[in-house]
Amino acid sequence: MQRRTFLATGLAPLLAACVPAGMPGGVDSLLARAEADPELSTFVAALKAAGLDSQLSGGGPYTVFAPTDAAFARLGKSRLDQLMSAGGQAKLRALLAHHIGRGSFTPKMLTGQVLQIATLGGGSVVADGRKGLTVDRVPVTGKAVAAGNGMLYTITRVLKA
């Protein structure tokens, strides 16, 4: 199957049309949706420590592949503490930016497709929707959550940037 790459440039009008109605920055933001999920408390704390929380409360559209608390626990307490410290902020920001795709990709857009999605970190992730949904071979759990500024998916492991 041919892999397609989607970048935010040139596709902004199309991607914006795929974003559910709502008000970015309000209760319908990606940050608000993540804060409402008890399995994403570490992810939300990491976003705040990295200074990415304001970006997800407005702006976009984005597709967020958010690691669960259990996924962050797999990093180990010392590694997580190091990333969350003031000295680890740059590494944490780069790590989290790799989990945030440019553009809003709904389940319908991903089903049956293999897409390379540009991330805020400057790289890309591969979303494979041919047999379930994975991102960089990490399973997506639960259902997709639509927000006013994009889509939120939970994943079982922290992605390598």
Could you read off the pLDDT of 102-159 as tens digits, one per residue?
Answer: 999 999 999 999 999 999 999 999 999 999 999 999 999 988 999 999 999 999 999 9
Q: What is the model's pLDDT at position 27? A: 63
Q: Give the chain as a 3 state SS string.
A: CCCEEECCCCCHHHHHHCCCCCCCCCCCCHHHHHHCCHHHHHHHHHHHHHCCHHHHCCCCCEEEEEECHHHHHCCCHHHHHHHHCHHHHHHHHHHHHCCEEECCCCHHHHCCCEEEEEECCCCEEEEECCCCCEECCEEEEEEEEEECCEEEEEECCCCCC
Query: By C-alpha distance, which of 82, 80, 94, 8 is closest to 51?
Result: 94
23-73 per-position pLDDT tens digit:
334 569 999 999 999 999 999 999 999 999 999 998 899 999 999 999 999
85-102 per-position pLDDT tens digit:
999 999 999 999 999 999
Tokens of 67: 């690691």
Domains of the chain by range and CATH?
4-155 (2.30.180.10)
- Whether the pLDDT of residue 21 is over 90: the answer is no
CB-CB contact of 153 with 133 (8 Å): yes
- Whether the pLDDT of residue 22 is over 50: the answer is no
Q: What is the pTM of this model?
A: 0.83
The 10 Å Cβ neighbour count of residue 111 is: 11
